[in-house]
Amino acid sequence: MILQFIYAFFSTLGFAVIFNLEPKKALTASIGGGIGWIVYSISLDITQTESTSFLLGAVALTLFGEIMARKMRTPVTSFVTAALIPLVPGSGLYNTMLESLSGNYSGAASSLINTMNNAGALSIGILLVFTGSRAYTYYQSTKGAIR
């Protein structure tokens, strides 16, 4: 488990450098990538469904990114974009292309649908946290008053 965290940390760090993040922000984004991967791995062991695991991993890393973005006074997308890299379903895309090139079109379609479900789960996880954060911020700014 620790080794997986380290792999996710360094893969995120590599993309954070490519995205030209400052060193402190790059390290923070890398921790978020590691957290997202660990939550994904643990939930995959528990639920045995990839889509749910991708959703929970995305929620964890986005929540971490939101908290750290507020503490460091920087846009949250700089953390989330880099931290999302370990969770990108690249193997699903590879398998889709492999099945397609080998002539197994039904296998390619099945792999593509699974990959799209996983990518959608990532998007929904990010969207849930972003929307919840904005709603909380709005609630705090109005102190619960309905306008």
Task: Output the DSSP codes for 83-138.
Answer: HTGGGS-HHHHHHHHHHHHTT-HHHHHHHHHHHHHHHHHHHHHHHHHHHHHHHHHH
Higher pLDDT, residue 4 or 140: 4
Residue 144 amino acid letter: G
Instruction: Give the per-residue pLDDT at 144.
Output: 62
CA-based angle 88:55:61, to the nearest 5?
A: 70
Q: Cα(108)–Cα(82) distance, rounded to whole angstroms? A: 29
Per-residue pLDDT tens digits for 115-137: 999 999 999 999 999 999 999 98
Instruction: Give the per-residue pLDDT at 140.
Output: 85
Q: Cα(5)–Cα(94) distance, rounded to whole angstroms? A: 23
Only one residue has tokens 């306008």, namely 147
Per-residue pLDDT tens digits for 56-109: 999 999 999 999 999 999 999 999 999 999 999 999 999 999 999 999 999 999
Q: Answer yes or no: is pLDDT of 19 > 90.
A: yes
What's the number of CA atoms in the CB half-sphere (13 Å) around residue 1?
10
